[in-house]
Amino acid sequence: MQLSALAGILVLGLLAMAVAYPSGGSEYNITSRDAPQAPLRKKRDHVDIRKRLQALAVLKVSEEESLVPLIEYTDGSGVANQYIARLLPGADYGQITRIIKGAENSQEVKFSKERDFVILRNISASDLLKLRRLIDVIEEIEQDVKAKLNTEYCSNEYTVSSRSGLWGLDTLDGVPGDSKFRSWGDGAGIDVYVADTGINPDHRDFTGRVTIGWPKSTSVDSNGHGTHVASIIGGEKYGVAKRANIISLKICDYSCPTSGILQSLLWIEQRVKKSGRLSVVNLSIGGPYNRVLNDAVDDVIEAGIPVVVAAGNDYASDACDFSPASSAASLTVGAFNANYERARFSNLGPCVDLYAPGESITAASYWNKYGSTTMSGTSMAAPFVTGAVAALLQVLRDNGKISSPSAEVINYAEIYIKEQAKCGKLSNVKDDHLVLYTPCLEVFS
């Protein structure tokens, strides 16, 4: 099949249109009942473990002569002024009581034969030193530490076919070619603003989750680009964040005046500030460097709303020469193909934060409720990252780390997307680079 022309990115002066192609064993776990019981795993000695953690700057062990050993956490996980003292059997514990029940500390301490430790709260530095001198009473003193809840977040596993143009989804879990897609979340309850040519809200891929945003009267798609982009972000079949809310902003028909883009970004910022809802913006548009546009994008980000932008389709040009690809705080996305090569049309350079699938991508068509179409361009790469960000915000919200737009949201989005991305996977990119990867995510709380 001939490669589709670039859906590219929507050009601020003239829209780069696409040639679209419409598309009208079981596992068994066997365990023998007669199998021998596995021996208990021998745990490592606590001294060795502490030495290793001390080398990693997780904790500090102080073992001065004539003082009880003191273990303190240096990674921020320790509880200030709170310790657990391991006691020597049969010792005079009254000495501990006399130290910590002085005038400045009214803590009540109870000792029990059933345990060999005591919890010490609100301990001053001077009292800690006195306790450390009780070498005939206390074996060691360890700073109290905050344990973390370790939760793995995974979306349902979906079957996708690379032959049907869904190779992009197939790559995101790091196992390309297995015809399966799984991510860290599904974006439920997260608002995604798609500033584009509008969206066909009746397409079945959106399952009724599209809201016509700005301007109300004309936000339905009459071009196809916006519907395709939105489907990659949050379509039930073609999308990454399959349960995200999608808000349509029509800023383009066949061209995208900067004035309309600026108005739409202001509308998004005001709407999100009023609602307080976690949100992300997709801008699959681009044109010559424009400081005003870059500043407008950065203003939205300063309001706690991540913005994902396309790097541009200027055939290996420097993305820093274009806007909004060069905006300081956005996530700027280049495109790669099914052979893990940078797509020949994709821009590159230091302004590109990462690459995502962007060549021969199949998603919803605007023509009717059921059709699909295939497009290529960094316009298709950016929405993969936008969907990943929406799913990430859902995970972090569910974990209790975030609840509303903030600077913390922006930091989390950039850190997690970049930390989870694969390094240096594309064969024809010489510089250090990242490729989008959305595995099941382990989050500590």
Residues 112/129, Cβ–Cβ less than 8 Å: no
What angle do the packed helices 378-398 and 225-234 form, to 10 degrees? 40
Q: Which one of 314, 376, 379, 433 is the catalytic residue? A: 379
- DSSP H helical segments within 157-224, as ranges? 167-171
pLDDT in tens, 27-86: 322 222 333 444 444 445 678 888 888 888 889 999 999 999 999 999 888 899 999 999
Q: Are residues 139 and 155 in the same domain?
A: no
Q: Are residues 351 and 439 in the same domain?
A: yes
Q: What is the pLDDT of residue 23?
A: 40
- pLDDT mean over 386-411: 95
Taking the mean position of all CA atoms in its chain, how far away is CA 200? 28
Residues 70/50, Cβ–Cβ less than 8 Å: no
Q: Are residues 122 and 156 in the same domain?
A: no
Pairing of strands 158-159, 180-181: antiparallel
pLDDT in tens, 261-284: 999 999 999 999 999 999 999 999
Task: Indicate the average pLDDT of the chain.
Answer: 86
Could you tell me if residue 2 is inside a domain? no
Q: Are residues 136 and 155 in the same domain?
A: no
pLDDT in tens, 196-242: 999 999 999 999 999 999 987 777 898 999 999 999 999 999 999 99
Q: Is 393 helix (H, G, I), strand (E, B) or coil?
A: helix
Q: Are residues 246 and 373 in the same domain?
A: yes
Q: Which one of 203, 225, 228, 433 is the catalytic residue? A: 225
Q: Are residues 176 and 141 in the same domain?
A: no
Q: Are residues 70 and 181 in the same domain?
A: no
Q: Are residues 220 and 319 in the same domain?
A: yes
Structural domains counted in the chain:
2
Residues 181/438, Cβ–Cβ less than 8 Å: no
What number of helices (H) and strands (E) belong to the chain? 9, 23
Q: How far apart are CA 354 and CA 348, in angstroms?
A: 9
Q: Which one of 186, 196, 205, 314 is the catalytic residue? A: 196
Asked if 75 is an active-site residue, the reply is no
- pLDDT mean over 182-204: 96
pLDDT in tens, 67-78: 999 999 998 888
Tell me the C-alpha to C-alpha distance, in Å, between residue 312 and each of 141, 320, 386, 433: 59, 10, 16, 17
Beta bridge partners of 196: 250
Domain edge (last residue) among 111, 145, 179: 145
Asked if 225 is an active-site residue, the reply is yes
**Range of the structural domain that residue 53 is part of:** 46-145
Q: Are residues 407 and 301 in the same domain?
A: yes
Q: How far apart are CA 207 and CA 242, in angstroms?
A: 9
Could you tell me if residue 7 is inside a domain? no
Q: Which of 151-165, 257-271, 362-376 has the lowest average pLDDT?
A: 151-165
Q: What is the pLDDT of residue 110?
A: 56
Q: How far apart are CA 135 and CA 69, in angstroms?
A: 9
Tell me the C-alpha to C-alpha distance, in Å, between residue 109 and each of 99, 101, 121, 336, 372: 11, 9, 10, 64, 70
Could you tell me if residue 36 is inside a domain? no
Q: Are residues 307 and 225 in the same domain?
A: yes
Residues 246/210, Cβ–Cβ less than 8 Å: yes
Q: What is the pLDDT of residue 109?
A: 57
Domain edge (last residue) among 117, 145, 173: 145
Report the CATH number at residue 246: 3.40.50.200
Query: Which region holds residue 177: left if phi is over 0, alpha if psi is between -120 and 50, else beta?
Result: left
Report long-range pairs for 126-130 (Cβ below 8 Å, ≥24 apart). 127/99, 127/100, 127/102, 128/70, 128/83, 130/99
- 44: DSSP letter: P
Q: Are residues 137 and 155 in the same domain?
A: no
- pLDDT mean over 121-148: 90
Q: What is the pLDDT of residue 445?
A: 58
pLDDT in tens, 337-362: 999 999 999 999 999 999 999 999 99
Q: Which of 6-15, 112-121, 423-432 has the lowest average pLDDT?
A: 6-15
Asked if 379 is an active-site residue, the reply is yes
Q: Are residues 246 and 169 in the same domain?
A: yes
Q: Predicted confidence band at 26 (pLDDT cuts at 50, 70, 90)?
A: very low
Q: How far apart are CA 260 and CA 81, in angstroms?
A: 56
